Structure 1
Amino acid sequence: MAIEIETQFSFALEGVGDVLLQFEAAAIPEQEILETSTTMSEADHVARIAAHDGIGERIWLRATGPIEVRYAARVEPRRITADLATLGGLDPHLLPADTVQYLFDSRYCPGAPFQPFVEAEFGGLQGGARIAAIRDWVAERFRYEPGSSDTHTTALDSFVERRGICRDYAHVVISLARASAIPARYVSAYAPGVEPPDFHAVAEVFLRDPTIAGGGSWQIVDATGMADPAETAKIGVGRDAADVSFMTSFGEARFGEKTVSVRANG
Structure 2
Amino acid sequence: MRLNIDVTMDYQLTGHDTVLLTLEAAETDGQTVIESTLDVEGADLRWIEVEGMPGRRVWAHVTSDRMRLRYRARVEVTRTCADLERLVGTAMRDLPGEVVSYLRPSRFCQSDLLTEFATQQFRGLEGGARIAAIVDWARSEISYVSGSSSATTSAIDSFIARKGVCRDYAHLVCSLARAGNIPARYTSVYGADVDPPDFHAVAEVWLEGAWHLVDATGMSSAADMVVIGSGRDASDVAFMETEDWARPLWQAVDVRRV
TM-score by length of 2: 0.97
CA distance in 2 between partners of 1:253 and 1:228 (Å): 32
Match of 1:178 in 2: 178
Deviations 1:147-190 (A, max 9, x none): 00001100000001110000000000000000000000000000
Residue correspondences, number: 257
SS for the counterpart of 2:16 is: strand
Match of 1:213 in 2: none
Structure 2 counterpart of 1:154, one-letter code: S
Aligned residue runs from structure 1 range 214-225, under 5 A: 216-225=209-218
Choose 65-74 or 46-55, whichever is displaced more: 46-55
Deviations 1:99-142 (A, max 9, x none): 00001111100111111111101011001000000001001111
Q: Check the 8 A contact 2:17/2:61 in 1, yes or no.
A: yes
Match of 2:207 in 1: 207
Match of 1:55 in 2: 54
Deviations 1:42-72 (A, max 9, x none): 12x3211013535221111222311111011
Match of 1:256 in 2: 249
Compute the RMSD of aligned alpha carbons. Answer: 1.1
Structure 1 counterpart of 2:99, one-letter code: T
Percent identity of paired positions between Structure 1 and Structure 2 = 46
Distance 1:144 1:247, change over 3 A: same
Distance 1:197 1:133, change over 3 A: same
Q: Check the 8 A contact 1:15/1:252 in 2, yes or no.
A: no
Q: Check the 8 A contact 1:189/1:200 in 2, yes or no.
A: yes
Deviations 1:24-47 (A, max 9, x none): 11112320111222211112x321
Q: Check the 8 A contact 1:52/1:238 in 2, yes or no.
A: no
Structure 1 unaligned blocks of 5 or more: 209-215
Q: Check the 8 A contact 1:118/1:179 in 2, yes or no.
A: yes
Aligned residue runs from structure 1 range 1-266, under 5 A: 1-43=1-43, 45-51=44-50, 53-63=52-62, 64-208=64-208, 216-265=209-258
SS for the counterpart of 1:55 is: strand
Structure 2 unaligned blocks of 5 or more: none
CA distance in 2 between partners of 1:85 and 1:230 (Å): 17
CA distance in 2 between partners of 1:52 and 1:224 (Å): 29
CA distance in 1 between partners of 2:171 and 2:30 (Å): 23
Q: Check the 8 A contact 2:53/2:231 in 1, yes or no.
A: no
Structure 2 counterpart of 1:136, one-letter code: D
TM-score by length of 1: 0.94
CA distance in 1 between partners of 2:51 and 2:111 (Å): 20
